[in-house]
């Protein structure tokens, strides 16, 4: 199938824009392969330290005959998605021995749960945990003991952080290994209904707790299509998972065999063999564009509008929101998974899932078919679904979706576009996710209610001050101000106002989660208020217009009046819950469209100094 001309044009623009930085990156990983730290170059004392506790693997590690796989794990048993990883290292060591190699836990990373920290002070360090995870990955791999990398991670900042860190060791092959979603629990629509009833004071905390516990009830990833599951989709459409492995449930024979197959495959794609597939070559401009297409085709989390540029940047690739916007014009929405529909990722997987989705996008010319993947047969293998035949792992053709209420082909989409819009105007530049918002609500014009803290929004609601047409503006929520916490806690409250018949929208320089739901929201607005962005000039009662049809976010206050206003003073920095430890990152972070990363901003500064 011929590639869609817009897909080709966007890819060529990304390649051209990235020419200098990609060249520098490829030169880096080539140097690291030839001259960087590695097992054969370690002194005897270095190597002795590294293998001292290796038991039966010591002889193999000393001889350096087979691949030694470095495991980067984000295991903890508080986070349901990562609890299954507790057993993975011991299994991976056995699987590596079967392939003639060895494996060691190279290091661990933090793994925050945004579901636990939503609306809490800890959410203010969530985005920056991605940088910490990237640095933790680099610390683990810096010992030079490894010829391949197995990354264990699922959720919001964890997969992007793992990939950013591993890409700085891009001469090594790497595979991300998922653990799978928990069984389906309380239907998402019922969970949302109970949350809104609680926000209105119509049910008590015990009823809310019962509903939440019935939704999040077992080991595995949360089953709505939020950031965690968008990450899994992204890794598969980039070819960094084994085909069809993203949404296979934990604690099953198929899940275990996919982990075994991933380790066996990793042992085959190292530099010593004839099928070398280093991570830095797998993640190229075409793979990044494929990731953007997958994000749009599935109505994925808006958080990836921040994470995707950051991951790309770690490989020397520059993609921006204009690229996403242009791709959104030609990539149809093919899935209905909560919050864009009523079903969850288990239902999506059952009706064809990722193999059917990828196959249909390839047939429509909307994915690059020639990317380098970790699978032996290339991207064509990602049309296939894994299964067990006679107690052995096999792959079979997935075919088309078996339920067009959940997953459709491009010829019969749910929407003609990808549901993500760049918003621009005199209030700045941001993102709007149209895919979960009814079209009749795409344009909202109403007086603003301006807040500096999300708790003040909830108080105003309880006091009856928001029971009207309103654009709720929550500012000083950007990365430089307070780490850019998600404002998902506001969703039930704003949904109540909307259900009462009011015209309601949110405008913020903060984030909303992949479960942001049905309320119109212009988010990630920059420049953020903390650095003097236009949101700092807004006052209560100013009329604000948010229009996804025209891609505009603006106040109707005149330019002259705005120019004469003094920016509002930012709230004082907050101490407690470790937030003060992240002041260095807040002070060095760059714009969300660039990835909102302090470490990548500093890295680019180093590169610019070297060029000078």
The annotation places the binding site for [4Fe-4S] cluster at 155, 222
425 torsion bin: left (phi>0), alpha (psi -120 to 50), beta (else): left
SS3 at position 355? helix
What are the contacts of 259-262 at 24+ separation with CB within 8 A?
259/88, 259/91, 259/92, 259/95, 259/177, 260/91, 260/95, 260/98, 260/393, 261/393, 262/150, 262/175, 262/177, 262/374
| DSSP class of 124 | G
Element (H, E) at 280: helix 279-282
Considering only CA atoms, which of 135, 104, 134, 110 is closest in space to residue 122?
Answer: 110
Element (H, E) at 394: strand 392-397
Q: Sign of the CA dihedral 609, 610, 611, 612?
A: positive
Number of other CB atoms surrounding residue 2 within 10 Å: 6
Contact 300, 233 (CB under 8 A): yes
Q: β-strands 470-474, 443-451: how paired? A: parallel
Q: β-strands 521-526, 504-508: how paired? A: parallel
Number of other CB atoms surrounding residue 271 within 10 Å: 15
CB-based contacts of 115: which residues, under 8 Å, 6+ apart? 216, 222
Element (H, E) at 438: none
CB-based contacts of 592: which residues, under 8 Å, 6+ apart? 305, 306, 478, 479, 484, 524, 526
Distance between CA 448 and CA 199 in Å, rounded? 21
What are the contacts of 83-87 at 24+ separation with CB within 8 A?
83/219, 84/179, 84/180, 84/219, 84/220, 84/250, 84/251, 85/152, 85/179
Distance between CA 34 and CA 25 in Å, rounded? 14
CB-based contacts of 301: which residues, under 8 Å, 6+ apart? 225, 226, 227, 230, 295, 513, 514
| Burial grade of 270 (CB within 10 A; 0-12, 13-18, 19 or more) | buried
Distance between CA 132 and CA 157 in Å, rounded? 10
Number of other CB atoms surrounding residue 23 within 10 Å: 11
Binding residues: 155, 222
Residue 543 sits at φ, ψ, to 5 deg, of: -80, 130
Q: Which two tokens stand for residue 282?
A: 């797998």
Torsion of CA 225, 228, 232, 238, to 10 degrees: 100
List the 148-152 sheet strands across, edge first: 102-108, 68-73, 148-152, 174-177
């Amino acid at each position: 199938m011929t590639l869609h001309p817009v897909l080709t044009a966007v890819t060529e623009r990304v390649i051209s824009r990235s020419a200098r930085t990609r060249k520098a990156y490829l030169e880096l990983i080539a140097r690291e392969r030839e001259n960087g730290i590695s097992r054969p170059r370690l002194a005897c004392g270095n190597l002795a330290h590294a293998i001292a506790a290796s038991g039966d693997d010591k002889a193999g590690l000393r001889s350096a005959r087979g691949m030694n796989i470095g495991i980067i794990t984000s295991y903890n048993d508080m986070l349901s998605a990562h609890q299954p990883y507790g057993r993975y290292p011991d299994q991976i060591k056995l699987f590596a021995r079967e392939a003639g190699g060895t494996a060691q836990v190279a290091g661990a990373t933090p793994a925050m749960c945004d579901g636990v920290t939503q609306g809490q002070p800890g959410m203010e360090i969530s985005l920056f945990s991605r940088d910490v995870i990237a640095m933790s990955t680099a610390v683990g791999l810096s010992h030079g003991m490894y010829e391949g990398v197995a990354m264990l991670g699922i959720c919001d900042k964890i997969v992007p952080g793992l990939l950013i860190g591993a890409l700085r060791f891009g001469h090594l092959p790497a595979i991300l290994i998922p653990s799978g979603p928990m069984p389906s629990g309380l239907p998402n629509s019922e969970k949302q209904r109970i949350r809104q009833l609680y926000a209105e004071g119509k049910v008590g905390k015990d009823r809310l707790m019962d509903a939440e516990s019935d939704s999040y009830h077992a080991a595995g990833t949360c089953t709505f299509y939020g950031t965690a599951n968008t990450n899994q989709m992204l890794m598969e459409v980039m070819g960094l998972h084994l085909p069809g492995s993203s949404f296979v449930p934990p604690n099953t024979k198929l899940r275990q065999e996919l982990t075994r197959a991933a380790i066996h495959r990793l042992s085959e794609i190292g530099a010593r063999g004839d099928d070398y597939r280093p991570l830095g070559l797998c993640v190229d401009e075409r793979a990044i564009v494929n990731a953007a297409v997958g994000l749009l085709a599935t109505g994925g989390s808006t958080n990836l509008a921040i994470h995707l540029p950051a991951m790309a940047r770690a490989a020397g690739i520059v993609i921006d929101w204009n690229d996403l916007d242009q791709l959104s014009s030609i990539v149809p929405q093919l899935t209905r998974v909560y919050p864009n529909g009523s079903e969850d990722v288990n239902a999506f997987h059952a009706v064809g899932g990722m193999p059917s989705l990828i196959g249909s996008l390839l047939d429509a010319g909307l994915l690059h078919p020639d990317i380098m993947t970790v699978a032996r047969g290339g991207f064509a293998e990602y049309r296939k679904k894994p299964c067990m035949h006679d107690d052995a792992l096999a792959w079979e053709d997935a075919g088309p979706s078996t339920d067009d209420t959940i997953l459709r082909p491009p010829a019969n989409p749910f929407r003609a576009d990808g549901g993500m819009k760049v918003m621009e105007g005199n209030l700045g530049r941001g993102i709007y996710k149209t895919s979960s918002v009814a079209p009749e609500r795409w344009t909202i014009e109403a007086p603003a209610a301006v807040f500096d803290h999300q708790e003040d929004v909830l108080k105003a609601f309880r006091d009856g001050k928001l029971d009207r047409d309103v654009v709720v503006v929550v500012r000083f929520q950007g990365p430089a101000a307070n780490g850019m916490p998600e404002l998902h806690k506001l969703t039930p409250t704003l949904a109540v106002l909307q259900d009462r018949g009011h015209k309601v929208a949110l405008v913020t320089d903060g984030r909303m989660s992949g479960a942001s739901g049905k309320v119109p929201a212009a988010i990630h607005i920059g420049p953020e208020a903390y650095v003097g962005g236009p949101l700092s000039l807004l006052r209560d009662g100013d009329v604000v217009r948010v229009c996804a049809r025209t891609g505009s976010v603006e106040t109707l206050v005149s330019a002259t009046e705005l120019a004469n206003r003094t920016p509002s003073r930012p709230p004082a920095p907050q101490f407690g819950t470790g937030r003060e430890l992240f002041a260095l990152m807040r002070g060095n972070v760059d714009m969300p469209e660039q990835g909102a990363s302090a470490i990548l901003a500093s890295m680019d500064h180093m590169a610019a100094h070297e060029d000078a």
